[in-house]
Amino acid sequence: MPVTINVPAALRQFTGGSSRIEVEATTAGEALESLTSQYAELRRHLYDDNNALRSFVNVYVNDEDIRHQSGADTPVNNGDTIMIVPSIAGGVATEAEVVSGLPALSNEEIARYSRHLIMPEVGLEGQRRLKAASVLMIGTGGLGAPTGMYLAAAGVGRLGIVDFDVVEASNLQRQIIHGTADIGRPKVESARDRLRDINPHIEIETHETQLTSRNALGLFANYEIIVDGTDNFPTRYLVNDACVLSGKPNVYGSIFRFEGQASVFWAEKGACYRCLYPEPPPPGLVPSCAEGGVLGVLPGIVGAIQASETIKLILGATDTLVNRLLLFDAWHMKFRELKLRKDPKCPVCGENPTVKELIDYEEFCGLRAQTSSQPATLEEITAAELRRRLDGNEDLQIIDVREPFEFEIARIPGTKLIPLGQVVARMNEIDPARETVMHCKAGVRSAKAIEALKQAGFSGRLINLKGGITAWSDEVDPTVAKY
């Protein structure tokens, strides 16, 4: 009759990574014989030379130790579960280390992780599990910074970091893994040095590249857990789909202004990100943190939750955020939890998936279409060209569509402020007989303003300042503050 054997993480390297294996058996001993006949390398870790179960390997049938039943002759019934539990109490420690396949801890590491070791939920075996684990972090920004630092401090043995950006001054308000001296450095280099300083006992692998459909599966194959610290929809859907296709848990976090979300998407055990959000919002509908801002401590809180969930997954905890979405509001200091369910119609993890390989996620999120159509519908001007035309005393009116608090931070001389949300209602304040240049921080909101004005029937010529006031500061006047 069919029974299921649960293989602990320490022994999954001998079962090809499988955690649950179904066998036909009538006793616990028959089930283990069937298992070890399939995975010969596993046998020497369970049995001694006399073909007896090793003293430091415990076997449970439906949560009952077979030593207190009939041993290997303990009967099993259809649908029963057998759990193999390598013991950390009893036996010779060095032998147990070999049997479990977990790395030993040096005296220095024991001293470093002592506060973990005295916790029964972690203990010596749990800390060795952390040392044996491998985690890939996508991004070393607001979320990746605290996540990486806590995982390094916790002793996760191998950390991979993927990023292709460089450190900027505006990062330092929240990306605590980087410092002032790191401005201009690749983020993976800055993060690597900080993590090594936190814990020289771990291995850090840097991948200075953009995560794409071409390299994601190859990167993910070398790690057990993926941590999503991304800040855009194409990469978020790419991470999700690659995790589903490779069978990896996806430790998710997202942040905006004062609000954050966290979950663990693991298709093997429940919902994936697409079950929650089948499709991305239209391009530009949801502002980025660069446009909307983010409270500096918020990614620290959400990133710490991601680190906690990652550690719990490594330790084998059952009460994780799988099938739960945690919402956090820092302004009101409130948490709320929502239940998630696997969508049987999900295109990537459902009963009849249609996404069986990684796709073009820029196109899926509508960004390629937006980029290709933009030149035909949006006239743009560079900051340098605008400066030249102003110096030539050309009759231009410049409309700033940012918010008043942004206008207070920095402004282009001679501009008129009409926030994006008011631009159509205040259309009469813009002279259609004059050529109009519209700008915001980076050019996204001003493009929306131009589109809204055209749809409202504005007849004048509208030109978008490419790169917004940020480009003006970079190319024309560095005294204009960048934020």
| CA 342 and chain centroid, separation | 20
**Residues 207 and 137: beta-carbon distance below 8 Å:** no
Which residue among the candidates 243, 272, 349, 440 is catalytic per the annotation?
Answer: 440
DSSP E strand stretches across 106-211 = 134-138, 158-162, 203-207
DSSP string, 358-393: ---HHHHTTHHHHHHHHHHH--EE-HHHHHHHHHTT
User: Which stretch of DSSP H or E encloses residue 399?
Assistant: strand 396-400
Residue 346 catalytic?
no
* Both structure tokens of 396: 């231009």
∠422-428-434 over CA atoms, to 5°?
A: 115
**Residues 257 and 294: beta-carbon distance below 8 Å:** yes
Which residue among the candidates 243, 272, 289, 346 is catalytic per the annotation?
Answer: 289
**Residues 10 and 129: beta-carbon distance below 8 Å:** yes
Residue 275 catalytic?
no
330, exposed or middle or buried, with CB in 10 Å at 0-12, 13-18, 19+?
middle
* Both structure tokens of 363: 């196109």
Helix (H, G, I), strand (E, B) or coil at 60: strand
CA–CA distance, 438 with 447 (Å, rounded to integer): 8
Phi, psi of 409 (to 5 degrees): -70, -45
Catalytic residue positions, numbered: 289, 440
